[in-house]
């Protein structure tokens, strides 16, 4: 008799456990459903996300406690208060792009209390300054197209994990970027300062930077040895500036790490000296009327042949020279030098 009863009891016990677990999950889902703000969407299959985008919201609703990803872009929100984010220490992704948020209407220290925040998007708002203090967990900070004209001292000091800093489309001038402005950004990989009012190259860019974007400014010259303190820099964008031949020191781009160099829409009359490691070069819409392949080549053309190893020959693959008035044919020395070229536009 015992042999028969024991399996039945075990089966009932297991069934009861499964039933309790289902009820528990159901109650959790119902709790989340009732916590969800009426203006927002809380997908049952993605219970850690809150979608409140494009709802014409003027005020921030209360964010449910379990939310990790919150989307509030394309609204009319003007202020951010602690009551909307009370006990939201688990929040990791916050998108507030395209609202009407001003610096004065953000509760002091609001973001710093979000100890697990990785991505903060505040593009296309009305911010006048960087919303510091910020949490040291932050990896992406996007503040493009605001009205930021100053950066308070120490705004980025504790952001040792920040990899992307986007400040394009603001009102920054040279005086706003001081020697210690970017101090503390030890992991920064991309710095975007495009479309501001800079006349000089920014000071003390972090040594970890891989990509530096400075398009659409009023930069006239690059200091001698500027890139020697940026050993990992691979991409430089200086399109739409006011750089002339005299503003480029002879060896300033002779850096082995630089792979992509963009100098379109400037005032150059000659191709600047480059390193043999460069792979992409954009010089379109300058004032270059002719090109001498032998002079452009980073090493003597007569030393290059089919037996030369790839490590010893120029690695340029794409060259853009249109909008300069250069007429074909393409100089033979240019093709002899850059044997890896797969695209050239004249």
pLDDT digits (tens, 9 = 90+) for 105-127: 999 999 999 999 999 999 999 99
Maximum distance among all Cα pairs of the chain, rounded to whole angstroms: 103
Planar angle of CA 326, 302, 271, nearest 5 degrees? 30
Q: State the pLDDT at residue 1.
A: 45
The whole-number pLDDT of residue 264 equals: 98
Alpha-carbon distance of 142 to 139, in angstroms, equals: 10
Q: Kindly tell me if the per-residue pLDDT of 7 is higher than 50.
A: no
Strands (E), the chain: 49-51, 69-71, 93-95, 119-121, 140-142, 164-166, 190-192, 211-213, 235-237, 260-262, 280-282, 318-320, 343-345
Rounded CA separation 129/242 (Å): 27
Q: Grade residue 241 by pLDDT with cuts at 50, 70 and 90.
A: very high
The mean pLDDT of 229-249, rounded to a whole number, is 97
Mean pLDDT, all residues of the chain: 90
Residue 143, pLDDT above cutoff 80: yes
pLDDT of residue 303: 85
Give the per-residue pLDDT at 305: 76
User: Model confidence over 15-35: pLDDT tens digits?
Assistant: 455 444 554 454 455 555 568
| CA–CA gap between residue 199 and residue 201 (Å, rounded) | 7
- Pick the closest to residue 202 from 250, 157, 236, 251 (CA basis): 236
Range ranked top by mean pLDDT from 10-19, 43-52, 134-143: 134-143
């Amino acid at each position: 008799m015992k042999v028969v009863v024991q399996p039945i009891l075990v089966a009932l016990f297991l069934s009861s456990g499964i039933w309790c677990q289902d009820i528990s999950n159901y109650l959790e889902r119902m709790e989340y459903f009732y916590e969800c703000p009426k203006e927002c969407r809380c997908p049952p299959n993605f219970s850690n996300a809150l979608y409140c985008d494009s709802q014409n919201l003027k005020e921030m609703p209360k964010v449910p406690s379990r939310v990790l990803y919150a989307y509030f872009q394309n609204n009319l929100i003007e202020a951010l208060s602690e009551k909307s984010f009370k006990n939201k220490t688990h929040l990791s992704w916050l998108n507030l792009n395209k609202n009407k948020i001003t610096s004065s209407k953000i509760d002091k220290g609001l973001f710093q209390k979000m100890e697990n925040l990785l991505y903060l998007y505040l593009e296309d708002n009305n911010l006048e300054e960087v919303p510091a203090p910020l949490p040291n967990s932050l990896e992406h900070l996007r503040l493009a197209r605001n009205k930021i004209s100053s950066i308070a001292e120490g705004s980025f000091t504790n952001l040792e994990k920040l990899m992307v800093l986007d400040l394009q489309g603001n009102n920054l001038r040279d005086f706003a970027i001081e020697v210690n402005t970017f101090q503390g950004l030890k992991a920064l990989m991309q710095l975007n300062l495009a479309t501001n009012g800079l006349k000089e190259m920014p000071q003390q860019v972090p040594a970890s930077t891989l990509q530096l974007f400075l398009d659409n400014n009023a930069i006239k010259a690059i200091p001698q040895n500027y890139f020697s303190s940026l050993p990992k820099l691979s991409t430089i964008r200086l399109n739409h500036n006011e750089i002339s031949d005299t503003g480029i020191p002879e060896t300033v781009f002779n850096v082995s790490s630089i792979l992509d160099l963009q100098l379109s829409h400037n005032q150059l009359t000659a191709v600047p000296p480059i390193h043999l490691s460069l792979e992409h070069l954009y010089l379109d819409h300058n004032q270059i009327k002719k090109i001498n392949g032998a002079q452009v080549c980073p090493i003597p053309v007569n030393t290059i042949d089919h037996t030369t190893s790839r490590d010893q020959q120029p690695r340029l693959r794409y060259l853009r020279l249109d909008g300069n008035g250069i007429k074909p044919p393409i100089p033979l020395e240019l093709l002899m030098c850059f044997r890896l070229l797969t695209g050239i536009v004249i």
